[in-house]
Structure 1
Amino acid sequence: MTSVILIIYTFVIEQTIIVVVQKPTLKQYEHLLDQHEGLYCPCTRISIQYSEFIKMNPRFHQLCSSDFTSIQWIQYLFGDRNYSNPYLFGGVYQNSFWDRISNYDQLDFRTLAISLFYFLSQLCRFSQEVVQAALIAFQKQTFINSQAMSRSLFDIELRLIIEKFQLQIPLKMLREIQLITGLIQADALQSDYESNWVYQVNRTGTGFDVRYDVSVIPRQFSNCNCRTSSNCRQLSSMRSKNGTILFTIPGFYVGCLPSQALIQSTMECFYNQSCIDQIQSHIDYQQVPLNITPLIILESSRYSPETTIEEMLKKLFVEQWDSQTYFEQYYHQCQPTYCQYQYIEQYSVSSITKLTGLVGGLNLAFRLITPILVISFLHIKRKLFKAKNIAISRKDIVP
């Protein structure tokens, strides 16, 4: 009966088995992870720098390494292939430059082009510097995790971290540009090219009593007024001395602020060799055209020819990040000293072995104890029988 009770107990009561694997390799870890839920592998290092297992190699848009952001193109627009220091937006230029463009309208492409393309080259350079500085700072950040994670969870976590990084880094640059533009608009600062405010001189009086009144009026672009908005614009063009339009540059704008108009523009003309040739044919202060390679339309590019410079700037001109994450290096840095898992069994080989030993021991004990119990029982029974007989005899002797 006891054996039966023990057997029932063994098969009904659950047992928790704890297994510890010391210094598991990556292969062992992934095998254990596949086989056991609730695997616990504490990391030796809970704080790991991103540089240990994340590599990013950003590739920038072809514009930033093209002829159109090169010093040769800017020198060509300037009219002096030895000049190497054009200042942004009408700064200090040689008199010969002003002489060359004095016959053009203030908003003529040839007047503004040198500043616009110099500004564009600086946007590219600044974007690259921002990205490189952000990458250095990012790789010094730490990934904190107390226990080893699965490869799939690692991939998900790292993808979210990288996407957040890529979205955040352009924001500072864009805020700075918007701040500068806002200050110029709020303070009514005048562009050196009079693209937003125009001087108007009125002469009154005659003889020795001549008076000149100078006023500044906002420039109009169609129905848009530069007093109220810095986003007014129109397509950039090249005009003859009498104002006739010689050529309009597709997608390229001029507006209240040259910088603002530029970022609203596209580079679609500069993907087209014939469009480039048209521009060069009207740069009449240059005798020999510059050998210019147009931008290439790539199906793999995230930008189309109609993408605005502002849209490219929002992504810091990055074409592709080429980010790689390395789970093996992460696991090596995590370096768990052990992995532990547990499982529940209702019966096991060890339990059955113990039970068998216990039953065998009980059987042996019963064999040894049973004769003693029988002898003791018979002895007690004899004594009781003898005592009963004596009592009956005494009863018969009574007179």
Structure 2
Amino acid sequence: MYDVGVFIGFTSSIVCTPLEGFFAGCTPVEGLLVNTLDCLYDIKCVELLIDYFPTLNQSNVSLMDSILVPPNQNTSVYDHLLNLFIDEWSININYSKYYDECVPRSCTYTIIDQINFSYAFTLLISIYGGLIIILRLITPILVNMSMKLSVVSLRQNRTIETSFLVLIIFTSLSTQTVTITESNPSLLTYDKLQAMYPNTLKCFCSNTAIRYDKFMSLSPTLHEVCSSDFVHDDFLSALKEKVVVRNKHSDWTDRAFSHFQLLMNFCRLANETITAAVHRFIMGSMVISNMLNKNDFNTQTNVTLDQFYRSTIVDFRLAVDIQRLFVQIDQPYTGKATGPNNNVASFLFTEIYYANFTLINCDCATNVHCQTSAFIYQDTNVTNSYVYIIPGIVKGCFIINSLLYSTLQCLYVDSDCFPNLVSFLLGGNHYHLHPLIYNPTLSKYPPNTSVLEIVKELMIEQWNPLYIYEPFYESCAPSYCTYSKNIRTKNTMGVITTLVSLIGGLTVALRLITPQLVKLFYWLLTLNKKKKEKQPQQGNDYRSNIFK
């Protein structure tokens, strides 16, 4: 690792001005990670960059307006990378939006209300009056058994019957909502209550954090190629024996070993990533306060699994993209060095060639997507003629690009190129290869799908989740459930008691109030009579005064 400077001057006296905070390493990535970028905090250093790279003035970016400010000075790019280049997390919690998204369906609360004086007084009157009515009802019956009493008129009986009928209907039809508690319900009891009271049933879990492995399992299935002979050690050993070093640019058979070895590594990396991610996931917990019904359980579980699938695939995709980026930046030398002159190497930009060695207008140093078809030549001495173009396989700047931009179509049993590929790769080797078999009902990747698209999906065919509601309920272990239902306020005895209390209360109330009302009536009548007697006397006095 050493400091980086800018050389100024084109004469024999060249001045090297160091760039503060910039370093060079064995590879560009190594140098970048230890850079502190202190130069970008200094106006003079930025001006030096602009002078040395005059084309920067022709761009739309103004470096003078982009000068960094403390406190990130003297911090390496590696340290920034560990913090995801985040200086500060800005957290904004909005409870109103949370409430709007929740959309509560109903709320319940409990209050303790003491009986007030008026209610107690009314209750005493009702009880007293009810006893009087009961005695009044029983006494005539007992008397009538020994004596014949006069029969009440039919009209009066009908009036009384109508009044009683109205009171009975009103009292019997009145309802009220009550909350019922069920302690330690079984799953069968819960299902019955859920079917009867789906809108009001609430069961409170004894365990609010339930681990996923208690009720869920994941058995992912990878692409068929990851379990095929093409990534087996015996096949790779057979390919390695067939590698022939060409005097010039080698054909694809010399890259076949690296091609399939990298494919095997991708399969292993995908499998290890999935295994680790699934283990972390199922060891996590679902946090709930109330028991979920089966529909909500399925919905929430599927949403959680979808989030897990996406996050795992994105993480793997980012890892692959970062590796490809490092390869593009570092431009590692990929040529072979064998033979008597293996200590001499010529480092040139990696280039893409046609079969006739005509240079394609594509530079791997600036365009990582350079590619051409893969060819198999006639013999070990490369000539300008080729024997076979391998369908679906391309040659890129690096092995990783060659593999990712290729397809697996020649590895399938119904492919015309499979026999030719095996013949060119293995020759007289007696190793028996089993081709891939495409089944559209089991695989979501057609044969012409690029390896890049397969890798982007973590090489997953199916996640195969299995989650069961019964273990989830047992892990929740509801301590009690509550539900609300409407019931009749009074049963038959309650209706009779209410009617008796009402009539008795009215009787007592009228007994207390009626005498006072009569007295008030007579007092008002007397007062009115006195006023009328006083008015004629005043009129006679007025007429007498006129005629005097």
Short-chain TM bin: 0.7 to 0.9
Matching residue's letter, 1:291? H
State the match for 2:455 in structure 1.
Answer: 313
Partners in 1 of 2:506 and 2:384 — Cα distance? 125
Partners in 2 of 1:8 and 1:282 — Cα distance? 97
- Contact kept? 2:410, 2:421, Cα under 8 Å: no
- Contact kept? 2:349, 2:363, Cα under 8 Å: no
Larger radius of gyration: 2
Which of 200, 203, 216 lines up with 2:348 in the alignment? 216
Partners in 2 of 1:44 and 1:258 — Cα distance? 56
Matching residue's letter, 1:23? N
TM-score, normalising length: structure 2: 0.56
Identify if the C-alpha distance between structure 1 residues 174 and 358 changes in structure 2 by more than 3 Å, giving closer, same or farther.
Answer: closer
State the match for 2:177 in structure 1.
Answer: 16
Which of 209, 225, 243 lines up with 2:363 in the alignment? 225
Which of 306, 320, 337 lines up with 1:163 in the alignment? 306
**TM-fit CA distance, 1:9:** 6.4
Identity of counterpart residues, as a percentage? Answer: 24
Partners in 2 of 1:187 and 1:233 — Cα distance? 19
Matching residue's letter, 2:375? S
Partners in 1 of 2:507 and 2:421 — Cα distance? 116
Deviates more, 1:306-315 or 1:353-362: 353-362
- Contact kept? 2:210, 2:287, Cα under 8 Å: yes
State the match for 1:140 in structure 2.
Answer: 283
**TM-fit CA distance, 1:176:** 2.0
Which of 385, 391, 406 lines up with 1:244 in the alignment? 385
**TM-fit CA distance, 1:290:** 2.3
Partners in 2 of 1:239 and 1:47 — Cα distance? 63
Partners in 2 of 1:164 and 1:77 — Cα distance? 41
Matching residue's letter, 1:115? S
State the Cα deviation string for residues 44-87 of structure 1 (Å, max 9, x = none). 111100101111111222101111001111111111xxxxxxxx
Partners in 1 of 2:215 and 2:478 — Cα distance? 17
State the Cα deviation string for residues 350-385 of structure 1 (Å, max 9, x = none). 3x4223024346768999999x99xx9xxxxxxxxx
State the Cα deviation string for residues 376-396 of structure 1 (Å, max 9, x = none). 9xxxxxxxxxxxxxxxxxxxx
Partners in 2 of 1:178 and 1:280 — Cα distance? 31
Indicate yes or no: 2:246 matched with 1:103.
yes
Partners in 2 of 1:368 and 1:109 — Cα distance? 112
State the match for 2:212 in structure 1.
Answer: 50
Residue 48 of structure 1 aligns to a residue whose secondary structure is: strand
State the match for 2:260 in structure 1.
Answer: 117
Residue 205 of structure 2 aligns to a residue whose secondary structure is: coil
Residue 190 of structure 1 aligns to a residue whose secondary structure is: coil
- Contact kept? 2:377, 2:388, Cα under 8 Å: yes
Identify if the C-alpha distance between structure 1 residues 344 and 131 changes in structure 2 by more than 3 Å, giving closer, same or farther.
Answer: same
Matching residue's letter, 1:298? N
TM-score, normalising length: structure 1: 0.75
State the Cα deviation string for residues 296-332 of structure 1 (Å, max 9, x = none). 1112211111111112112222221111111111111
Partners in 2 of 1:151 and 1:213 — Cα distance? 68
State the match for 2:238 in structure 1.
Answer: 76
State the match for 2:332 in structure 1.
Answer: 189
Residue 298 of structure 1 aligns to a residue whose secondary structure is: coil
Indicate yes or no: 2:319 matched with 1:176.
yes
**TM-fit CA distance, 1:4:** 8.0
**Higher-RCO chain (CA-CA 8 Å, sequence separation at least 6):** 1
Residue 254 of structure 1 aligns to a residue whose secondary structure is: strand
Partners in 1 of 2:302 and 2:384 — Cα distance? 55
Indicate yes or no: 2:404 matched with 1:263.
yes
Partners in 1 of 2:269 and 2:474 — Cα distance? 37
Which of 158, 182, 186 lines up with 1:25 in the alignment? 186
Identify if the C-alpha distance between structure 1 residues 137 and 239 changes in structure 2 by more than 3 Å, giving closer, same or farther.
Answer: same
RMSD: 3.3
Q: Structure 1 unaligned runs (5+)?
A: 80-96, 195-211, 377-399
Partners in 2 of 1:161 and 1:121 — Cα distance? 31
Partners in 1 of 2:509 and 2:347 — Cα distance? 127
- Contact kept? 2:375, 2:390, Cα under 8 Å: yes
Indicate yes or no: 2:489 matched with 1:335.
no
How many residues are paired up? 336
- Contact kept? 1:107, 1:236, Cα under 8 Å: no
